[in-house]
Amino acid sequence: MNEIFRYVDQHRERFLSELFALLRQPSISTQNVGVAECAALLKGQMEAIGIPARIVPTGGHPVVYGELSVAGAKRTILIYGHYDVQPPEPLELWNTPPFEPTIRDGRIWGRGTGDNKGQFFAHLKAVEAVLKVTGRLPVNVKFLFEGEEEISSRSLRGFIETNRPLLAADYAFCSDGPMLPNHQPTILFGVRGILHVEVSLQGANRDVHSGNLGVFVPAPAWRLVHFLNTLKDAQGRILIKGFADAVVPPSPLEKDALRKIPFDPIVLTGLGLPAVAPEAGQGYFERLMFQPAVNICGLTSGYQGRGTKTIVPHKASAKIDMRLVVNQDPDDIFEKFVAHAKAHGFDDLQIERQGGFYPSRTPLDHPLGAAAARAVRQGFGKEPILQPCMGGSDPDYYFTRVLGIPRINVPYAPHDENNHAPNESIMLEGFFSGIKTTAAFLHEAATL
């Protein structure tokens, strides 16, 4: 491994300039800006390493797929990443332009540095380093890079279902999301699921004068407030009947892992909020990883410009996201949500489902986790924290449920990577230690 690590150290400048080429290419999936060009660039970068690659069309943005088979290799690793990025707006809040990557304060700044180009590019450079130094990989490697993660991976499930033999593997591996606030590496074994719902109400066919007709016309804004009020009580308990029936509480092993995750009050103080005691952190992690949540993420009705406008708005709507945990099923939860609205007399409420993901988890004591931990110790020179789950959501269940293989996620971006926000970054050391970690992981996985 030392020789491989030396190769990584010797080629830092070139690795950076290649990553910068990828970062300079916008690939904003939701705006369809530069995505096809980025796929072509990525394919070329994979081929330059010696990975046969192709662009596979889907109903949406293409998948870039690559594969390196090794005679005699016993294990196959499926590496997942996404080459699409979030829109860069608001542009005026960026210190340097989003698609002109810059190095400052030990970090690379730019859209996609952390989420997810900088992270998956580390896997490609790891493969290059292992190939150049040893001549062969210790495992077969398959690469699945999608261009729609930031728009809920719309085509990925179809792609995976129609390409099962192509994607057959023993384990799935990825790097997405952040490390811990103390820059300690972490290994994530699962994700929460998510269900997006938009609810809307309409009264009259247009806004009306609140003084004249206000007493006669229905008020959708008030009615929406009353509906939202039925979802949770003042203590934050979710009131949808049967909502938490399928929730599996943490096992003793998982509880033990939760206790070892350091809670840094900066998660609150950094947001200008009062700090909480470290003990409260324990409850925080259990809620984050093992309990579902119902969140109002958008609320719209009436006039919201400057000054006043005396109307009864004729429409009101809210966007709601429900974070789900193992073994909640988004289909079942949606039915329960609809039934809840009916049971409370909100038959006039329009409820639109807007996609989501299943929750998913790989067992904390799976040997794959131990292999990743050994790799992190070599690559980062630090002890990793094992997290049973992350609070966010991604298509993990496509691997664990659809393909039926375990997946773990070892993030290489910092906790304050500002993904989806202005001034996104990855630390240089995270990128290079990540390359070394992936290289070590390929060797560790070969021994499983």
Minimum CB distance to Zn ion smaller for 115 or for 396: 115
Minimum CB distance to Zn ion smaller for 112 or for 220: 112
DSSP string of 42-98?
Answer: HHHHHHHHT--EEEE--SSSPEEEEEE--TT---EEEEEEE--B-----GGG-SS-T
Least separation in angstroms between residue 56's CB and Zn ion is: 21
Minimum CB distance to Zn ion smaller for 115 or for 146: 115
Minimum CB distance to Zn ion smaller for 148 or for 254: 148
Minimum CB distance to Zn ion smaller for 128 or for 148: 148
Provide the token pair at 289. Answer: 């990883």
| Backbone φ and ψ of 408, nearest 5° | -125, 155
Place of tokens 């290489």: 412
Least separation in angstroms between residue 152's CB and Zn ion is: 11
Minimum CB distance to Zn ion smaller for 30 or for 163: 30
In one letter, which amino acid is 267? V
286/325 Cα distance (integer angstroms) = 11
Least separation in angstroms between residue 291's CB and Zn ion is: 23
Least separation in angstroms between residue 305's CB and Zn ion is: 31
Minimum CB distance to Zn ion smaller for 115 or for 416: 115
Q: Between helices 428-446 and 367-380, what is the axis angle to 10°?
A: 140
Least separation in angstroms between residue 324's CB and Zn ion is: 19
Least separation in angstroms between residue 435's CB and Zn ion is: 21
Least separation in angstroms between residue 82's CB and Zn ion is: 8
Least separation in angstroms between residue 419's CB and Zn ion is: 5
Q: Which residues of 306-331 are buried (b: 16+ CB within 10 A; e: fewer)?
A: eeeeebbbbbbbbbbbbbbbbebebe
Minimum CB distance to Zn ion smaller for 118 or for 281: 118
Minimum CB distance to Zn ion smaller for 29 or for 433: 29
149/140 Cα distance (integer angstroms) = 25
* CA-to-CA separations, 148 to 98, 154, 435, in angstroms, rounded: 19, 6, 24
Least separation in angstroms between residue 252's CB and Zn ion is: 33
Longest Cα–Cα distance of the chain, Å, equals: 82
Minimum CB distance to Zn ion smaller for 62 or for 81: 81
Name beta bridge partners: 293.
323
For residues 385 and 178, the answer to whether their CB atoms sit within 8 Å is no
Strands (DSSP E) along 147-267, which ranges?
171-174, 186-188, 190-191, 193-202, 208-209
Q: What's the residue count for the chain? A: 448
Provide the token pair at 292. Answer: 């579902």
Terminal Cα distance for the chain, rounded: 18
Contacts of 98 (CB under 8 A, 6+ apart): 88, 91, 110, 111, 422, 424
For residues 422 and 88, the answer to whether their CB atoms sit within 8 Å is yes
Minimum CB distance to Zn ion smaller for 181 or for 392: 392
Least separation in angstroms between residue 371's CB and Zn ion is: 26
In one letter, which amino acid is 84? D
Least separation in angstroms between residue 174's CB and Zn ion is: 12
Least separation in angstroms between residue 150's CB and Zn ion is: 5
Contacts of 48 (CB under 8 A, 6+ apart): none
SS3 content of the chain, % helix, strand, coil (to 5): 35, 20, 40
Minimum CB distance to Zn ion smaller for 82 or for 374: 82
Write out the residues near Zn ion by the rule CB under 5 A: 115
Query: Which residue is nearest to Zn ion, using beta carbons?
Result: 115
